[in-house]
């Protein structure tokens, strides 16, 4: 199943810079591993915000929740999830 996930990150203003950088580095490594294995298909930055719009390809809502809840920045995110399905007019055969 495909899911669109919008993640808005809100780190505390008083978080030490070293801690924030460490979290961001660990998050980047985890996201790239998920992209390499095909679960995190697309990652798009939202211009002007510390936010992204992503597409995940997972077995269902439970797997998506498990992945999202283990992201290092999860405690600092506001997340919106939308289930997606292939549009009949799409010309891309790899959309499922």
pLDDT at residue number 96? 64
Q: Which domains does the chain have, with CATH numbers?
A: 2-84 (3.30.70.1060)
Q: What is the pLDDT of residues 29-75, one digit of tens each?
A: 999 999 999 999 999 999 999 999 999 999 999 999 999 999 999 99
pLDDT at residue number 21? 98
Query: Exposed (0-12), middle (13-18) or buried (19+): which is 27, by Cβ within 10 Å?
Result: middle
């Amino acid at each position: 199943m495909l899911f669109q996930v919008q993640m808005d990150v809100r780190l505390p203003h008083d978080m030490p810079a070293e801690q924030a950088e460490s979290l961001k580095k660990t998050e980047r490594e985890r996201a790239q591993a998920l992209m390499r294995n095909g679960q995190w298909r697309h990652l798009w930055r939202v211009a002007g915000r510390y936010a992204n719009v992503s597409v995940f390809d997972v077995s269902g809502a439970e797997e998506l929740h498990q992945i999202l809840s283990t992201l290092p920045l999860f405690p600092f995110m506001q997340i919106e999830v939308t289930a997606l399905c292939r549009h009949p007019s799409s010309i891309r055969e790899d959309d499922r």
